[in-house]
Amino acid sequence: MKHDLVIRNGWVLDGTGAPGFQADIAIDGETITTVGKVHGSGREELDAKGLLVTPGFVDIHTHYDGQAVWDSHLAPSALHGVTTALMGNCGVGFAPCRAEDRDTLIELMEGVEDIPGPVLHEGLNWSWESFPEYLDALERKARDIDIAALLPHGAVRVNVMGQRALRLENATAEEIARMRAITAEAVAAGAFGTSTSRTISHKTLAGEPTPTLKAQEEELIGLAAGMAEGGGGLLELVSDWNTPDPATEFAIVRRVAAASGQPVVFSLTARHDRTEAWKELLALSGEAMAAGLDIRPVFPPRPIGILMGLVGSQNPFSGCPSYREIAHLPPAERAAAMREPARRAAILSEDRVAGSNFPLITRLHWARMFPFGDPPDYAPPREASLEAQAAREGRRPEEVAYDLLCAGDGSAFIFAPLTNFADYTLDASAECLRHRHAIVGLSDGGAHVGFISDGSFPTFTLMHWPKRGFPMEELIRRQTSDTARAMGLTDRGVLAPGLLADINLIAEGELALPQPRMIHDLPAGGKRLIQGARGYQATIKRGQVTYRHGTPTGRLPGRLLRRHESGMR
């Protein structure tokens, strides 16, 4: 028998968490037809001897809402074995949207997810107004991975309430009913649910908070009810969990889940200023799951960290007046200007915070800022911090940071972990990994293009955690069948006959992460940080090889997923 594609002699980690085994895999069309001994030949064959053969990864938390409109290659995620991505998280996105609200949604996405306004203005063709029309626009473009979309609460609120949403006013009963209807329409058209944000970290560049920040419980129940009426979906949320405390706010989430019968996922990070809250939330979610409520945390497998540098969109001195005078210069020229004694003295004497448009600037501390090397170290020791270096040298930390950034051609980065590194260990992420109901995620692929590069989370997980006692087969399960089922997908995430042929061939011993680099390939000449990986010998999407050794083959079998289609519950 002739198969379309045969993978030979691989060590199969099938996505269920079961121990690995030696096997061939036959693929016909988009589907796996055999896992075992394949006697027939393939029109195309891949030798996987010595390689891990895994399902393609499913990333539940990305922000490709804009990039998916103009780009067929959804890097960085596709460079790290991801074959399915869920976007529209954190309550931000571009539909529904009236023409008069376009600037508002762009400004919100620019501030919350660091996707530059000029990039979005040029890249978005606005061939839609409603969310179903947005899905239709996405469906017209071929891609290297499958995408699915959540309905963003921020866009819905602006669409229904206009300026009142931006003023954080409470929605009326009539407005909640309209949001409910929009949600039902979106889910019926294929949305995988809806997303919302309740964190003050989500602001426009002008400092205005996300319009969903103070949405009342009745409004959230309305959204969830709309999901149920549209056929069912997922509620995704991010919160500061301080209105007034984690238990009180989590009780709201429980009531929303109970009233609607819909699953909930929420971002769980170990903050450095409230170091015990994540433990309470992890326990509360476990209690909810035990009570039959599907409320699961999504956590990062390493610190979420900012890369600050002259080539990026942020650095510790971006808000200083004397720095802003030269901010337009190319990095190498800016570095040279910064080395001038008078300029150096002026910048170091100015207030770094008052003029900053970066909403996270007050959460950055020299004690948790580190030189970022190549290869990158995502868990540097305390003594490597800029504060510790300054103490050893008898200087101020800002002087150490300044001289690091303006050395040479100005290409250096400072790594500033924001979460999951309070005690200078990755213990918080390890604890979440030990809880089977906690979901690995928060890569934010497609977002924070100028100062965060966490699309490499899947690769880091496979590099770091097996050395700390976590079985590789479980780490694969957590990024394949577990994330797929959390989305409601049953046609992928496991290597078995009859399921979708989304597959990675991985040389485990060769897995490596280089330092991220800045490239200029966005619309309007925009720039973004991109981090590839070594060790992925091939990635297969719907039976077609889309990447070989990290290089795209040109095949684009990815498509838009609509939740009501087959393979989804």
pLDDT per position as a tens digit, 298-341? 999 999 999 999 999 999 999 999 999 999 999 999 999 999 99
User: Whole-angstrom distance between the N-terminal and C-terminal Cα of the chain?
Assistant: 34
pLDDT per position as a tens digit, 17-32? 999 999 999 999 999 9
Average pLDDT, the chain: 97
Distance CA 221, CA 242 (A): 20
Helix ranges, 240-297 (H): 246-260, 277-290
Number of Cα atoms under 13 Å in the Cβ half of residue 102:
15
Distance CA 568, CA 138 (A): 19
Per mean pLDDT, which range of 22-26, 351-355, 395-399 is the poorest? 351-355
E-strand stretches of 210-251: 234-239
Q: Where in the chain is the domain with CATH 3.20.20.140?
A: 57-304+421-487
Per mean pLDDT, which range of 149-163, 359-373, 435-449 is the poorest? 359-373
Using a cut of 0.95, tell me whether the model's pTM lies above it: yes
Whether 104 shows a pLDDT value over 60: the answer reads yes
Under CATH, which architecture does the 57-304+421-487 domain have?
A: Alpha-Beta Barrel (3.20)
pLDDT per position as a tens digit, 114-142? 899 999 999 999 999 999 999 999 999 99
Distance CA 282, CA 274 (A): 14
Band (pLDDT 50/70/90 cuts) for residue 363 is confident
Whether 456 shows a pLDDT value over 80: the answer reads yes
Band (pLDDT 50/70/90 cuts) for residue 566 is low
Helix ranges, 309-380 (H): 321-324, 331-338, 341-349
- Please return the burial class of 273, using the count of CB atoms within 10 Å of its CB with bins 0-12, 13-18 and 19+: exposed
For range 410-416, the mean pLDDT: 97
For range 205-227, the mean pLDDT: 95
Number of Cα atoms under 13 Å in the Cβ half of residue 25:
34
Instruction: Give the per-residue pLDDT at 569.
Output: 46
Distance CA 483, CA 86 (A): 10
pLDDT per position as a tens digit, 269-283? 999 999 999 999 999
pLDDT per position as a tens digit, 501-537? 999 999 999 999 999 999 999 999 999 999 999 999 9
For range 540-550, the mean pLDDT: 98
For range 495-505, the mean pLDDT: 98
Instruction: Give the per-residue pLDDT at 382.
Output: 98
Under CATH, which architecture does the 2-50+500-510+533-552 domain have?
A: Roll (2.30)
Instruction: Give the per-residue pLDDT at 567.
Output: 67
Whether 472 shows a pLDDT value over 70: the answer reads yes
Helix ranges, 339-470 (H): 341-349, 386-393, 397-405, 427-433, 457-464
